Amino acid sequence: MTMLSRIQFALTVGFHFVFVPLSIGLILFTAIMETLYVRTGDPKYKTLTKFWGRLFTINFLLGVVTGVAMEFQFGTNWSRYSEFMGDIFGSPLAVEALMAFFLESTMLGIWIFGWNKLSKKMHLLAGWLVAIGTHLSAVWIIVANGFMQNPVGYVLRNNRAELVNFWEVLFNPYAWYTYVHTIFACYSVGAFFVLAVAAYHLLRRRNVDMMKASLRIATVFAIIATLGNAITGHFNGQNVALRQPTKFAAMEGVWEGGQGVGFPLFAIPDSANERNAVEVGVIPGLTSFMAFNSTDAHVPGLKDFPVDERPPVGLTFWSFRVMVGLGVLMLVLAALAWWHNRKGTLMERTTLLKFLLWSIPIPYIATNLGWMVAEVGRQPWTVYGLITTADSVSPVALADVVISLGLVVIFYAILVGLDIYLLVRYAKAGPEAMDERQAAVAD
């Protein structure tokens, strides 16, 4: 029962996270394009704003549906969890719906139908307010999740966690480290989406001038995002080492705690025997340094904690390592594209353009692996140190969970398929293919 409910929630979040990072990354790119249009008056940037904004709108509207369905699961599959901390979890979600979602939805309508009805600056303001709304939505969702990772601002009363300090929950350090890291990940998804679409058109010598302009900005966007991810990831890891030592030990494959813990360049964790079956190229003291800025710092190992309080080590370890590897790959691809575009040799680098075209899944996989590290690494707790996942599940019939899981898979697969179909169709059509009817609606 618990495992099926976990699978269902993981699939729901995984599907939802196909939409969210692209929306956040793409709306910021669209707002930048419109800013260039207002500042320069170049109609090229107006066409590009409408092109990327249309792809954002498709993705955003379909993503809203997946977010609504996800929240129902707190009441159906996780009623004991909702009863335990609904007082705290409900507050940020309510603010997100009333403030952030209302702002982005209202401003999106004004932005879509406001072309030639608003002044350039007022229309640009509407676009930036949509971008601010999407970023604020992420704030409140991650604040709610931050309490699950690092409970603060509460008291235990009548077997429930009750809110006593809203501001302590809002400014939970765990939430803000995660937020900044997640936002850079969203920018990576948006940047590589733009790079892939631009590469598609450049390979076919279509819309060359506009796609070169998009690619030039997207490469800078991608480099800043991937470097930002690396820097914030380091500080996020130090925060995890301080507040969730079991997760950090699982991420790094540390079984024996101690001072001056080394970092293996390659390792294969062996949970059954509580050791790493393979360790290659151990750099002395590096894990201690990464965790606490000292090569002699003490780092707890997994053996310092009871077996039933350790997360799944293999899944946490490999999710973290593959995520880091994909981040390095994205930085290399973005840097190569920026360099060849700057030197004017990108059009001849067809292999690189093909790599960029097929690179779309890379940031999606990396961001989902990051969430797996955060959520799987928190196990066996739903709320760290307070309530376990096993104690959070609803007392519902097994058949009900099986049926709802099947429906979730079918429903979400249809939504993701529709999203991919529409994005591919309109992205391949290009910015100059907007027919008269679409242009009339947009204007």
Dist CA 52 CA 35 (whole Å): 13
- pTM of the prediction? 0.89
Q: Are 321 and 369 in contact (CB under 8 A)?
A: no
Dist CA 261 CA 183 (whole Å): 31
Residue with tokens 């680098």: 349
Structural tokens at position 95 = 């603010």
pLDDT given at position 70: 72
Query: Could you tell me how many helices (H) and strands (E) the chain has, helices first?
Result: 15, 8
Q: Are 396 and 404 in contact (CB under 8 A)?
A: no
Separation of first and last alpha carbons in the chain = 52
> Residue 383 forms beta bridges with which residues?
387
Q: pLDDT tens digits, the chain, 443 residues: what are they? A: 677 778 888 878 777 778 889 999 999 999 999 999 999 999 899 999 999 999 999 888 887 777 776 777 777 788 888 888 877 877 778 887 777 888 888 899 999 998 888 999 999 999 999 999 999 988 988 998 999 999 998 899 888 888 889 899 999 999 999 999 999 999 999 999 999 999 999 999 888 888 999 999 999 999 999 999 999 999 999 999 999 999 999 999 999 999 999 999 999 999 999 999 999 989 999 999 999 999 999 999 999 999 999 999 999 999 999 999 999 999 999 999 999 998 989 888 999 999 999 999 999 999 999 999 999 999 999 899 888 988 888 887 888 888 888 888 888 888 888 888 988 888 888 887 655 455 544 44
The residue among 335, 378, 401, 376 whose CA lies nearest residue 174 is 378
Q: Residue 193: which residues within 8 A CB-CB, separation 6 or more?
A: 22, 25, 26, 55, 360
Q: Which letter does DSSP use for residue 427 in this model?
A: H
pLDDT given at position 1: 67
pLDDT given at position 206: 87
SS3 string, 34-53, reads HHHHHHHCCHHHHHHHHHHH
pLDDT given at position 399: 82
pLDDT given at position 442: 47
Largest CA distance in the chain: 69
Determine the 3-state secondary structure of 443 from DSSP: coil
pLDDT given at position 438: 54
Dist CA 57 CA 55 (whole Å): 5
The length of the chain in residues reads 443
Structural tokens at position 410 = 């079918």
Q: Are 116 and 442 in contact (CB under 8 A)?
A: no
Chain centre distance of CA 179: 9
Dist CA 47 CA 39 (whole Å): 15
Q: Helices 398-429 and 2-40: crossing angle, nearest 10°? A: 20
The alpha carbon torsion through 426, 428, 430, 436 (nearest 10 deg) reads -50
Chain centre distance of CA 87: 26
Distances (CA, A) of 240 to 84, 90, 268: 24, 25, 21
Backbone φ and ψ for 42, nearest 5 degrees, come out as: -75, 120
Dist CA 37 CA 50 (whole Å): 11
Dist CA 250 CA 247 (whole Å): 5
DSSP letter string, 77-116? T-HHHHHHHHHHHHHHHHHIIIIIIHHHHHHHHHHHH-TT
How would you classify the pairing of strands 298-299 and 258-259? Answer: antiparallel
Q: Are 140 and 93 in contact (CB under 8 A)?
A: yes
Chain centre distance of CA 281: 31
Predicted confidence (pLDDT) per residue in 114-150, tens digit:
888 899 999 999 999 999 999 998 898 899 899 999 9
